[in-house]
Each structure stands twice: as structure tokens, then as C-alpha cells.
Amino acid sequence: MDTRKHAVRNRAMMLLTHWACLRIGEVAALRWSDVISHEGLVKDEIRLLAYMTKGRHARTVFVNTKLKRALQDYADSARCVDRDYPFFATQKSIKSGFSANTLTQTFAHLYQGAGLDGASSHSGRRTFLTSLANKGTAIHILKSLAGHRSITTTAAYLYSSPSQLKAAVEMV
């Protein structure tokens, strides 16, 4: 990904799904004012308004240090013309940015280029939730971070590998 023309942008978009659990439509909906403060720095929290989310429920996304650095790298390399413009501009227009569909296709192309068969625009969310669950994060916390209304929905994202199952039975 680093050798591509838009590597810094693509990395920042991808990391929002892997390190902040954003849906692809939420990434596409971000504006400069959502992510960057008036001082030009990445905010500690990104507020997703109801119209930006799948379930039409606003939520706060917490930005960890690694993600903050990647978003700042992108912001520094891009040019903010207007704080109401999309945070991630396409080659075609800085005013309209990506649609969720176009961004889904972009992610599919990036994953395919990386040799990750079967990966999709939702892979980052699944990885985020499974990784935190494997580190002992309570499911009600995962539910909130994912923006789910039901723990059942969150549970469907979690993957158990054979090695995890073997380790679990060894704890008995």
C-alpha cells in the first residue's frame, strides 16, 4: 500500500476501520471538521452524528495514539480547503469525496492487492472487535465501541480460532 499514489490516505481510511471500528459508510461521511480541530490537530474523539451511522444513532469514536498519528500524517499531506469538505477526497472531487459504495470497492482493491482473499470493507471491524475480545474486553464495551444496539450483533463479529479454543480448555 505504501507505494501507491494515495498510500497515506488509503492507510488512514483503512486504519479507521481497524483501529476505531468505523463502518465504511462512516469513513466516507467524515468531514474535516469531524476529525481535525481548528488548530489543525486530530481530535481525541470523533463524534459521529446520527445521519452518519448505519443505525441512525450518534456515537463517539475514541482515537488512540497510533490512529491519531496516521490521521495527522494524512491531514498534513492533504490540503483542507474547507472544513465542511469530506476528510477523504477522491481524485475526481475534493467536494464530494467517496460514496460508501466507491470506498467499499477501493477497500476490495487494496485488500486484493495485498493478497488478502476474502477480506472486505467490514474486515477491519471484525478484526477490531475480535482483537479486543481476545484481550479480555467485556462484550458490553465492545458493543458500545461498535455502535451496536444489541450484544447479539456484537457477538456475531467475534471469531474463535482452534488455538484459542485449545487454550481455553487448558485453563480448566
Written as nine digits, the cell of 138 is: 467485556
How many domains are there within the chain? 2
Domain check: are 83 and 48 in the same one?
yes
Assess if residue 41 is contained within a domain: yes
Assess if residue 50 is contained within a domain: yes
Check residue 3 and give its pLDDT. Answer: 58
In tens, the pLDDT along 37-61 reads 999 999 999 999 999 999 899 999 9
In tens, the pLDDT along 108-154 reads 999 888 888 888 888 889 999 999 998 889 999 999 999 999 999 99
Assess if residue 118 is contained within a domain: no
Range of the domain at 37: 7-113
Domain check: are 11 and 86 in the same one?
yes
Check residue 73 and give its pLDDT. Answer: 96
How far apart are the C-alpha atoms of 110 and 119, rounded to whole Å? 10
pLDDT at 2 over 60: no
Where does a domain end: 70, 94, 113? 113
Written as nine digits, the cell of 169 is: 480448555
Domain check: are 27 and 103 in the same one?
yes
59-62 vs 45-48, strand pairing mode: antiparallel
pTM, full prediction: 0.88
Assess if residue 1 is contained within a domain: no
Which CATH number characterizes residue 25's domain? 1.10.443.10
CA distances from 114 to 1, 39, 161 (A): 7, 35, 22
Check residue 81 and give its pLDDT. Answer: 84
CA distances from 137 to 43, 73, 113, 152, 167 (A): 24, 29, 32, 16, 17
In tens, the pLDDT along 8-20 reads 999 999 999 999 9
